[in-house]
């Protein structure tokens, strides 16, 4: 097979142009018309195509060299295939914009490129690409544009490393690599992607041990993270005077025990929450999957966060509205036992409308619970404590048992005013046991 010289072809009215990129390596097998080099004048860039197919034996130029028509580029071992198409003269990018540009030049003003990154798996539609990737913003040769276009990369987002910020193939590859290593999220099209967590070797600071996460922790962790980033949370705090309620509960405890029921505060809280959900039905709703409407629920199933040795689970007490406090307390005890013995069935954890997370048996004054989406609100309950409360009628401080409430709600669905109305309603229910049990 013959070794042939490849020369710079007729490049029009240019005496000399700079080589800005070499797209071939020794040993590469190229086909006729494959781009070999990119050259640039002071006005535009162009690719120099291979005149015929074959194997590159030697490269005779370097980046930065000045070349003109007839300059020797490379030696090629010509493949023995018939030439089937006539050679075309290479054209400067500015002379042939439709061939060399990956997008049409916009006819409307071009805004600044957006700061967010276009997801790699969903290339921008052409109309959007036009806004950010055009010759005014990204400076790249036709072959680089073609390469980027094949990968769905919007050049408006790629930083050029060559002189005059020109984008070369390596820049596109580096951009793709950096995008692929970023954490991804498919969160309702918000393109929210937090920066990667640093990978720290903690053993450099002291002795460490690696413990695998339980299955429950992995599942609940993923759900909590999704809910946290999906629903804009607001937490409304309030205090309820439960002095009378606690006195009543304690007076009923023995009677409940005879029926094998532990009458806990949580049962009363469930009753109060259903009363508030009926008064403010928006709290008993979910956003439809398309985000266009609210699904209002006519049933009242209340979930409760339950701490187990394996992690957090949320069993659901069904039809709370139709049950009295003893029945609710019975269900609570039954579900809590099942949760701790890992005997909960799928059905025991489905169908919730609203959740209560009670840390009162443990301690703490206030906390901000994460909504159990697609529910739209959750009530956090902290430890009750005796406090001196001023009585306007007697004009004196009185010791009262105060229960701290923390209501987190999804601000896409619930307004702040309704959040405050809901907790006000709750506290009035909890402060007046007669109304609660009506």
Give me the residues that bind ligand CAO (CB under 6 A), please.
Answer: 264-266, 304-307, 312, 336, 357-361, 369, 381, 383-384, 403
List of residues 6+ apart from 40 with CB closer than 8 A: 17, 18, 20, 46, 141, 166
Minimum Å gap between C-beta 360 and ligand CAO is 2
Minimum Å gap between C-beta 109 and ligand CAO is 50
Minimum Å gap between C-beta 263 and ligand CAO is 8
The residue among 360, 307, 356, 309 whose CA lies nearest residue 336 is 307
Measured between alpha carbons, how far is residue 137 from residues 8, 159, 364, 391 in Å? 29, 10, 55, 70
Cβ-based nearer residue to ligand CAO, 131 or 314 = 314
Element housing 336 (H / E):
helix 325-340
Q: Note the helical H segments in 67-214.
A: 97-100, 126-132, 142-151, 169-180
Can you tell me the distance from the alpha carbon of 358 to that of 424, in angstroms, rounded to the nearest whole number?
19
CB 32 within 8 A of CB 83: yes
- What is the Rg, in whole angstroms, of the alpha carbon atoms belonging to the chain? 35
Catalytic site includes residue 411: yes
Cβ-based nearer residue to ligand CAO, 146 or 262 = 262
Cβ-based nearer residue to ligand CAO, 167 or 370 = 370
Q: What is the DSSP letter of 81?
A: -
Minimum Å gap between C-beta 232 and ligand CAO is 18
Catalytic annotation, pick one of 191, 225, 233, 411: 411
Minimum Å gap between C-beta 190 and ligand CAO is 24
Can you tell me the distance from the alpha carbon of 289 to that of 291, in angstroms, rounded to the nearest whole number?
5
Cβ-based nearer residue to ligand CAO, 155 or 265 = 265
Query: Which residue in the shown chain puts its C-beta closest to ligand CAO?
Result: 360
CB burial readout 224-235, b (16+ within 10 A) else e: eeebeebbebbb
Report, as residue numbers or ranges, the catalytic residues.
411
């Amino acid at each position: 097979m013959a070794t042939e010289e490849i020369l710079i072809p007729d490049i029009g009215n240019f005496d000399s142009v700079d080589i800005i990129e070499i797209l071939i390596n020794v040993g590469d097998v190229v086909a006729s018309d494959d781009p070999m080099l990119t050259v640039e004048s002071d006005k535009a860039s162009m690719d120099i195509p291979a005149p015929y197919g074959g194997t590159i034996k030697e490269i005779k130029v370097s980046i930065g060299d000045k070349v003109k028509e007839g300059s020797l580029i490379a030696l090629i071992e010509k493949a023995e295939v018939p030439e089937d198409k006539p050679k075309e003269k290479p054209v400067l990018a500015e002379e042939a914009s439709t061939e060399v540009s990956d997008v049409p030049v916009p006819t409307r003003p071009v805004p600044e490129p957006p700061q967010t990154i276009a997801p790699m798996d969903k290339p921008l539609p052409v109309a959007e690409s036009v806004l950010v990737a055009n010759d005014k913003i990204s400076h790249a040769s036709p072959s680089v544009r073609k390469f980027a276009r094949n990968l769905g990369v919007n050049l408006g987002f790629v930083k050029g490393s060559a002189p005059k910020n020109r984008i070369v193939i390596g820049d596109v590859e580096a951009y793709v690599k950096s995008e692929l290593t970023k954490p991804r999220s498919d969160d309702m099209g918000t393109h929210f992607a937090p920066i990667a967590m640093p990978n720290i070797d903690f053993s450099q600071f002291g002795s460490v041990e690696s413990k695998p996460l339980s299955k429950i922790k992995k599942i609940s962790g993923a759900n909590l993270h999704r809910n946290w980033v999906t629903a804009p949370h607001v937490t409304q705090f309030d205090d309820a005077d439960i002095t009378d309620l606690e006195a009543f509960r304690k007076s009923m405890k023995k009677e409940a025990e005879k029926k094998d029921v532990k009458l806990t505060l949580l049962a009363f809280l469930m009753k109060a929450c259903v009363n508030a959900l009926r008064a403010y039905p928006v709290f008993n709703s979910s956003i439809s999957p398309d985000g266009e409407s609210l699904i209002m629920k006519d049933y009242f199933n209340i979930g409760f966060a339950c701490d187990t040795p394996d992690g957090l689970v949320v069993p659901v007490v069904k039809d709370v509205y139709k049950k009295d406090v003893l029945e609710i307390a019975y269900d609570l005890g039954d579900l809590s036992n099942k949760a701790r013995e890992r005997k909960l069935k799928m059905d025991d954890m489905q169908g919730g409308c609203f959740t209560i997370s009670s840390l009162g048996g443990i301690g703490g004054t206030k906390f901000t619970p994460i909504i159990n989406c697609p529910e739209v609100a959750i009530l956090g309950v902290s430890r009750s404590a005796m406090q001196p409360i001023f009585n306007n009628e007697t004009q004196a401080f009185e010791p009262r048992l105060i229960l701290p409430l923390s209501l987190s709600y999804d601000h896409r669905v619930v307004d702040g005013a309704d959040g405050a109305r809901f907790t006000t309603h709750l506290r009035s229910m909890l402060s007046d046991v007669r109304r609660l049990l009506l």
